[in-house]
Structure 1
């Protein structure tokens, strides 16, 4: 109580201001959240009654609360993001610092170079990207190097050094990949013209370089320099081939960020598309694990902020498939319903739904492989001739010989098939005789399957040792099914497996998946049978109590029990209610009985009926 009172005192002291709150357990921070109103938000964790199990567990572990007041919701958003990255609380979706993505660097020097890098240096060079994967970057670099003769050396090509003849041309010059600016063979103005076109390509605009090569091709052809015209034609074809591979959207759409999210019970899947000059120039997808059954908007909002930061987006327009409130002044966030922008959202959704489906299919395949492996292990351990896809397990239940029942559970593909579970009232056995009871239920089960033409299981398990197993074998022999259905017994004490005609038990490795499945089936059939037995015993006890009342027949007792379910509820009926149910005479009989046999926990005074 002292701990709860301490928390309540902390909550009462919280201000009605925007800020960030931190929950602690005995070891440290377990959750970080933001709020427009700190007191309202934090108190809701402790006053709401409809929290999911994960949130209930979080609240249960809170030992201390700290908070930080900020000026605005925007500041709270950013502070929350930074604290989550710093502390990695166990109940937050982890916004880990992104890996270092690659850039294309256009160096700040005479005769600039184009190089890939993961490190940005403040030296005046221009960096393009980052790129979500190295493949996209390499494809772009290969295109540019095929179009323009750029130098690759790292010499300092100052006019003084070049004039002094400090450098010699290399193999790239002789291969035609570089025009030799190191020996002053390259015109600097023409080289800078290449650089300007490269800037356009890196910004996603292919119109300028396409126009340039088309004009050069036409001019060379008019001068009857057909070999040169062909070279320009090849370069023009390379640009167009590259453009075909790019995902083209409407040419008027530029500088837009597109985010789509889809989730299931455990994870959320996000896709990010960056659109420039009518083309998608960057795509990135990720999966995050849910911690507190968060809504999609709660998950997506901080990830939008993080991904825009990682990919250095300056877009003033964000398209999403869920409503978001982001602390980004001057940036519009919308959910388009029609037109080309809607098609962008649908494209992002198609990608994210595919990613979710693939992950779920992978999990399903993993489960299927796991189940097949378990069945293969059982087949090997028991030396079965076929895979045990259908297994049934039997157990008997009675209490000092009263109300004997039996139960059967069915597993298909190593999973419970509850629609095939069965209860049995023991009909032919008097007293607590597990052996004869086992014979009866096995006989009844498989006689029925044979009569109905249903498929038989590939394995039968009986809960018990050699005695129960021998009676199950006898039942199968009497039905002429012996040899068609393998049967084993599992003894409780040492988890021994008994097989027919072998006096010694089979010991399976305690860590074996076979034994674990047998134990699971044994526990399941025991639970199923005990539940049925208790319901029968309780019903018999109730019925006996009312049928013992002199002057009250079994039909009246059944009628009352079927409607009110318990004697306790019948005791609580008013005089008028009793009369309405059974009439004045029987109501008086019941009230006199209840008065003479008052319930020990809820005594009830007798009510006298008028004579």
Structure 2
């Protein structure tokens, strides 16, 4: 920090400062913003930085680099808080606590149609209908939608898909939809299911159960025992769902935040409670460049997080937050109703706070155990593809065959950037796909995601297809047919010379291919997943091909057991003799009927 003549004179500068509220910016000699802060009293706050002795190492490190200070005077502390938040997000100063800014959070959307659609939604909530959430992650929103489909069987399909149906789709067949597209349910009865679903999403589970029990008793009195049994089963599923949701006795909407630390790694954990229901949790790892206390990190995190999204009526924190009253007033004015920030709680709220602290500690431990390069690659991949958050679970498909023989599709799974080999799957293609890679890819995807839609596994965040735009189109069609929502699709095509580093990436919804630099961590991760899928497919194909070539063609003929095969081989001296024999010759062997002889003859003619 220079005080030479002609340069920044902090004494004269401090003498000119107002005692009102505002925002100050610490700048380096190159003009880079090092730190942004707000103050109720600008003169007092900025002057505190220019004392000779500072107890805080972070302040000493900052002031060594500060060349000048700029201020913006505001009318109120609320304006200062908002401006500070905007400047931090715009410039991302080195010495501020910075959170990774997810652009939007997933919601569950019930559309405003006669037969409302239940769907995953992300973005500005301008569509007609009701929104429920926000959910902390795509996985938690998908899990809630899956639960709702099991319980209330609302349609998940798009409007165009719904309008053009002439028969029920897979969702009806697996008992996840009542097929309103073909009028298998009346509008009145469907509306009743929609109302129950909304009550369930609002946390009013017992109201839904009471309604269903009343309907069950009415059906029983009317001797409609099949309907009564259906309602009884629905009540049982609701009670199971209620037991899994950790429903609190308080039906309020609130977020619970706690901070954990290990060295220079800080984690903020949030648990989302809506209508008394636990929607799940999310963890953040803000960038902290200097020594901070947990409460300082939490105080910096709160405005960056809540000023750009809808806040619940209550925010519960593990530590007292400085200037909480200013943030409360700002959030309340923005929301149009009172929002409170509390840290002293009892009962259910205290238990949630303890759970949030445990989540934060566990997340820090997991992060320390996770390979740093894998985290960097996932972050780079999210940035390259424009994803809201790094893809935690990824699947990749590849096809392998020799001129159409023994076609095998592979599915490899990566969790947190590492192979999850226990989730790998292979699909032996049926004969009709032959050497058609598109047909084989479609069959493999359909078989895989039909099972996942039935609840036999977890959907990925990112699905990679080894191939270009054609294979990607096949994947898009299958996902549309199965009504799989919220999965990002990416085709990975080899470059012109089929050399590593020249891959073209075809992202669903984007016309032009994406080409990443050869040294990009994101590209290297994609190559690793693609190569693993390729290796797994080739291994499966070779194994299947060797098995088929080792086996005798006689083994594939129905009705020809081991004893009859031995008699044939003995009578004709081996396969070559059987292959050259006619139907009459074959039928002359003991135990071989004319019909069986014809099948044996036909089998060798088809080779």
Q: Which moved more, 1:308-317 or 1:117-126?
A: 308-317
Post-superposition offset of 1:155: 4.0
1:328 match: secondary structure: helix
- Asked if 2 retains the 8 angstrom alpha-carbon contact of 1:319 and 1:345, the reply is yes
- Aligned partners of 1:111 and 1:157 also within 8 Å: no
Cα deviation, 1:67-115, whole Å, max 9, x if unaligned, reads: 1111222221221111101111111112342143222121122211111
1:348 corresponding residue in structure 2: 356
Structure 2 unaligned regions, length at least 5: 330-337, 375-607
1:148-163 superposed matches below 5 A? 148-155=152-159
C-alpha deviation, 1:285, in angstroms:
1.7
Alignment equivalent of 1:170, drawn from 168, 171, 176:
168
Secondary structure at the residue paired with 2:283? strand
Closer/same/farther in 2, CA of residues 332 and 151 from structure 1, 3 Å limit: closer
What is the CA–CA distance in structure 1 between the aligned matches of 2:309 and 2:216, rounded to whole Å?
Answer: 37
Say whether the 8 Å CA contact 2:299–2:321 is kept in structure 1. Answer: no
Q: Which residue of 1 aligns with 2:269?
A: 271
Does the CA contact (< 8 Å) of 2:168 and 2:181 recur in 1?
A: no
For normalisation by structure 1, the TM-score amounts to 0.53
Find out whether 1:328 has 2:331 as its counterpart: no
Asked if structure 1 preserves the Cα contact closer than 8 Å seen for 2:8 and 2:68, the reply is no
Query: 1:57 offset after TM fit, Å?
Result: 2.4
Shift of 1:225: 3.8
Counterparts of 1:3 and 1:106 in 2: how far apart (Å)?
64
Asked if 1 retains the 8 angstrom alpha-carbon contact of 2:136 and 2:279, the reply is no
- The answer to whether the 8 A contact 1:17-1:69 is kept is yes
- Structure 1 residue 127 corresponds to structure 2 residue 131: yes
Against the structure 1 CA distance between its residues 193 and 122, is the aligned structure 2 distance closer, same or farther, given a 3 Å change threshold? same
Whether the 8 Å contact between 2:23 and 2:73 is mirrored in structure 1 is yes
Counterparts of 2:47 and 2:172 in 1: how far apart (Å)?
75
The structural deviation recorded for 1:125 is 3.0
Q: In structure 2, do the counterparts of structure 1 residues 3 and 300 end up closer, same or farther at CA, with 3 Å as the change threshold?
A: farther
**Corresponding residue of 1:197:** 196
Q: Are positions 1:65 and 2:58 aligned together?
A: no
Q: CA deviation at 1:190?
A: 2.2
In structure 1, list runs of 5 or more residues that go unmatched.
367-611
Q: Secondary structure at the match of 2:43?
A: helix
Q: Look up the SS of the partner of 1:322 in the other structure.
A: coil
Question: What is the CA-CA distance between 1:45 and the residue it aligns to?
Answer: 1.1
Task: Tell me what 2:236 maps to.
Answer: 237
- 1:19-43 CA-to-partner distances (Å, cap 9, x unmatched) read 1001111142111111111111112
Q: Equivalents in 2 of 1:363, 1:187: separation in Å?
A: 54
Could you state the TM-score of these two structures normalised by the residue count of structure 2?
0.53
Q: For residue 586 of structure 2, what is the aligned residue in structure 1?
A: none
CA distance in 2, matches of 1:196, 1:254: 20
Q: Deviations over 1:217-260 (max 9, x none)?
A: 333344444433332232222222222222233x1352222222
Distance 1:328 1:321, change over 3 A: same
Residues 336, 345 of structure 1: 8 Å contact kept: no
Secondary structure of the residue that 2:291 maps to in structure 1?
coil
Structure of larger gyration radius: 1
1:270 & 1:173 partners in 2: Cα distance? 39
What SS does the corresponding residue of 2:9 show, helix, strand or coil?
helix
Is residue 53 from structure 1 mapped to residue 57 from structure 2 by the alignment? yes
Question: Which residue of structure 1 aligns with residue 87 of structure 2?
Answer: 83
Identify the residue that residue 206 of structure 1 maps to in structure 2. 205
1:47-68 residue CA offsets vs partner (Å, 9 max, x unmatched): 1512433322211111121111
Structure 2 partner of 1:411: none
C-alpha distance 103-289 of structure 1, shift in aligned 2 (>3 A): same
Closer, same or farther: CA 310–328 of 1 in aligned 2, 3 Å: same
User: Bigger relative contact order, structure 1 or 2, given CA contacts below 8 A and separation 6+?
Assistant: 2
Q: Report the Cα offset of residue 5 of structure 1.
A: 4.9
Alpha-carbon spacing, 1:272–1:200, altered in 2? closer, same or farther (3 Å) = same
- Are the counterparts in 2 of residues 101 and 132 from structure 1 also a CA contact under 8 Å? yes
Asked whether the equivalents of residues 256 and 319 of structure 1 are also in contact (C-alpha less than 8 Å), the reply is: no
Q: Following the alignment from structure 1 to structure 2, what is the Cα–Cα distance between the partners of residues 261 and 305?
A: 15
1:13–1:267 CA distance, 2 compared to 1 (3 A): farther
For the pair 1:188 / 2:196, whether they are aligned, the reply is: no
CA shift in 2, pair 1:298/1:115, >3 Å? same
SS of the residue aligned with 1:248? coil
With over 3 angstroms needed to count, the CA separation of the structure-2 counterparts of 1:345 and 1:171, relative to structure 1, is: closer
Aligned to 2:24: 21
What is the number of equivalent residue pairs in this alignment?
358
